């Protein structure tokens, strides 16, 4: 249901990242009234700056994070079934570097070194095989193929690598369009009755009797709003601590550790569709991933970040680090001249007192304060387990909403995801056949963004003119209108860097023209929007 005329919701969620939008969707689907406020665009911070993977976290096994890894491994296939348009399987190639010694260590390596001192600094092949066996076994894998050994001699996987790499291990994980995951959760929540307020900052929240009173400011117009709710959820991500101290003014011993993860996007470095998993001499790992058909994504770094108010950027030092790291493996060195784009995000990890950013837990922690109407603070988490986090968060509040329905999201497709993952390529081919003015790349892009809703977006169009103005890189007025009216987009940046990555293919002048059009048509073009309904 929608919030009542008194603007009283069952749950008010602060934060429009993946955790906030996932919680809003879960709660709305149980019949609860929900309002969500995000001070910027959806997924404008951490949730659009991930490595774009649904994965269990192979390296977390070395930190004995078995529960987290098991939950994430199970979730990979749940999510793959529910969003086959924006997620898909990917094989990962881990070249074996028998002579590399690693600085530092993990709990596993330190334990083994005490037993076998000669192993200091090494990850032997048997240990990697054992880790991959556990990785395959912990999550009850059903859809994804198992791990295997791989020869690199004369193979596409070995061709881009230095010739001394002869052997590799290969395993499965999944790719996801992270920012689209957020906007589709928000859209589904809205379709189930939730009120989604973007560019709306929560300035104060206080307990008054059995309700929370929440004061808000529209950051575009300066208008002041008030909402009331029976429960408050703080899913502020990097700002979770600030919300506790500066918005709710409640004392808490819990905190987050802000860790900056930076990525570089380079020219295309290899031609096959698999991803590389590289181990570094400092004990860290990075991925090199096929990205947007014509590029390679390399990341990520782990560095402590000072505060959420400092905008994260991929520093020159981090760019150099990633280039040098990748160049340990690629036959052709990766240099900063190869970089076409960088991005960086702040991960709000639960502060468990770990000595290093790399060792800090990626698990989530939910803290419920019931000294009055409930306040639920969300600490940490990773994108792969967002649905389980949301389910657990609503369960924490269940005693306050006894009429709420039960768990439901495990078998519920996101908008456009109502098809089997195996059908994706066939559906893209059929989309192009039914709309012959689409190029193959254009048809595949639309299918991978909108799934079955691509046909709804295209409607009865018979040529490109029916889609309205072209802004470049296959982005048309029809699609822009859809994103404005259905997915909360308000600026060119929202569209070209979050709802899509078309900014990699568009010129500055094209992006500026898009921004001008959106400002002139703040609700989208009504005729084009109607055609897309």
What is the predicted pLDDT for the residue at 219?
A: 94
Judge contact between 220 and 39, C-beta under 8 A.
no
What is the predicted pLDDT for the residue at 404?
A: 97
Judge contact between 83 and 184, C-beta under 8 A.
yes
Q: How far apart are CA 15 and CA 178, in angstroms?
A: 16
> pTM of the full predicted structure?
0.92
Sign of CA dihedral 51, 56, 62, 67: positive
* 476-533: pLDDT as tens digits: 999 999 999 999 999 999 999 999 999 999 999 999 999 999 999 987 654 333 333 4
Which numeric CATH code is attached to 89-174+258-347?
3.30.9.10
Q: Does the domain made of 421-532 have the CATH classification 1.10.150.120?
A: no
Q: Is 79 exposed, middle or buried (0-12, 13-18, 19+ CB in 10 A)?
A: buried
Residue numbers in the chain where pLDDT is lower than 50: 1-5, 111-112, 116-121, 526-533
Cα separation values, 518 from 68, 76, 311, 507, Å = 42, 36, 25, 17
What is the predicted pLDDT for the residue at 1?
A: 41
* 255-312: pLDDT as tens digits: 788 999 999 999 999 999 999 999 888 878 999 999 999 999 999 998 889 888 899 9
Domains 8-46+179-255+361-411 and 421-532 equal at CATH topology level = no
Q: How far apart are CA 530 and CA 403, in angstroms?
A: 37
DSSP string, 205-260: EEEETTEEEEEEEETTT--EEEEEEEEEEE--GGGHHHIIIIIS----S--EEEEE
What fold, for 8-46+179-255+361-411? FAD/NAD(P)-binding domain (3.50.50)
What is the predicted pLDDT for the residue at 251?
A: 86
What is the predicted pLDDT for the residue at 422?
A: 87
3-state SS track over 80-131: HHHCCCCEEEEEEEEECCCCCCCCCCCHHHHHHHHHCHHHCCCCCHHHHHHH
508 by DSSP, 3-state: which?
Answer: helix
What is the predicted pLDDT for the residue at 138?
A: 85
**For the chain, what are the domain ranges?**
8-46+179-255+361-411, 89-174+258-347, 421-532
Nearest to 494 by CA among 480, 508, 513, 507: 480
Cα separation values, 194 from 106, 220, 447, Å = 44, 21, 26
Token pair of 499 as six digits? 């709802």
């Amino acid at each position: 249901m929608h919030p009542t005329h008194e603007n009283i919701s069952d749950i008010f969620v602060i934060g429009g990242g993946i955790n906030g939008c996932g919680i809003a969707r879960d709660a709305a689907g149980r019949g609860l009234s929900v309002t969500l406020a995000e001070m910027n665009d959806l997924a404008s911070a951490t949730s659009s700056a991930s490595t774009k993977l649904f994965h269990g976290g192979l390296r977390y096994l070395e930190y004995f994070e078995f529960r987290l890894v098991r939950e994430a491994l199970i979730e990979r296939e749940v999510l793959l079934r529910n969003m086959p348009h924006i997620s898909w399987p990917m094989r990962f190639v881990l070249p074996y570097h028998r002579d590399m010694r690693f600085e530092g260590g993990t709990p596993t390596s330190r334990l083994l070194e005490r037993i076998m001192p000669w192993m200091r600094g090494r990850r032997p092949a048997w240990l990697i095989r054992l880790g991959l066996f556990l990785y395959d076994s912990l999550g009850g894998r059903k859809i994804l193929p198992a791990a295997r050994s791989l020869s690199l001699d004369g193979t596409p996987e070995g061709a881009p690598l230095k010739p001394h790499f002869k052997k590799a291990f290969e395993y499965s994980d999944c790719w996801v369009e992270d920012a689209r995951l957020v906007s589709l959760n928000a859209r589904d929540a809205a379709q189930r009755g939730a009120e989604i307020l973007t560019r709306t900052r929560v300035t104060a929240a206080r307990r008054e009797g059995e309700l929370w009173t929440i004061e808000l400011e529209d950051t575009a117009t300066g208008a002041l709003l008030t909402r009331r709710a029976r429960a408050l959820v703080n899913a502020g991500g990097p700002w979770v601590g600030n919300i506790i101290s500066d918005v709710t003014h409640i004392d808490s011993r819990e905190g987050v550790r802000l860790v900056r993860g930076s990525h570089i996007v380079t020219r295309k470095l290899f031609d096959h569709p698999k991803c590389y998993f590289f181990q570094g001499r400092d004990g860290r790992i990075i991925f090199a991933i096929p990205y947007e058909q014509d590029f390679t994504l390399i990341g990520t770094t782990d560095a402590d970040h000072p505060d959420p108010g400092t905008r994260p950027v991929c520093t020159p030092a981090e760019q150099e680090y990633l280039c040098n790291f990748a160049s340990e493996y690629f036959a052709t060195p990766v240099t900063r001249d190869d970089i076409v784009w960088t991005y960086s995000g702040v991960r709000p990890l639960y502060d468990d007192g770990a000595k290093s950013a790399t060792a800090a837990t990626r698990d989530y922690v939910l803290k419920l304060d019931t000294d009055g109407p409930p306040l639920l603070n969300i600490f940490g988490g990773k994108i792969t387990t967002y649905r389980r986090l949301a389910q657990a968060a609503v369960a924490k509040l269940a005693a306050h909403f006894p009429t709420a329905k039960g768990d439901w999201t495990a078998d519920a497709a996101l908008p456009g995801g109502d098809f089997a993952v195996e059908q994706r390529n066939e559906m893209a081919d059929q989309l192009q056949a039914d709309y012959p003015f689409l190029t193959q790349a254009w048809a595949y892009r639309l299918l991978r963004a909108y799934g079955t809703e691509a046909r709804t977006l295209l409607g009865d169009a018979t040529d490109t003119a029916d889609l309205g103005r072209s802004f470049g890189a296959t982005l048309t007025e029809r699609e822009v209108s859809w994103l404005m009216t259905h997915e909360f987009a308000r600026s060119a940046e929202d569209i070209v860097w979050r709802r899509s990555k078309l900014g990699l293919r568009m010129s500055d002048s094209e992006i500026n023209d898009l921004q001008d059009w959106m400002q002139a048509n703040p609700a989208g073009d009504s005729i084009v929007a109607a055609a897309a309904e």
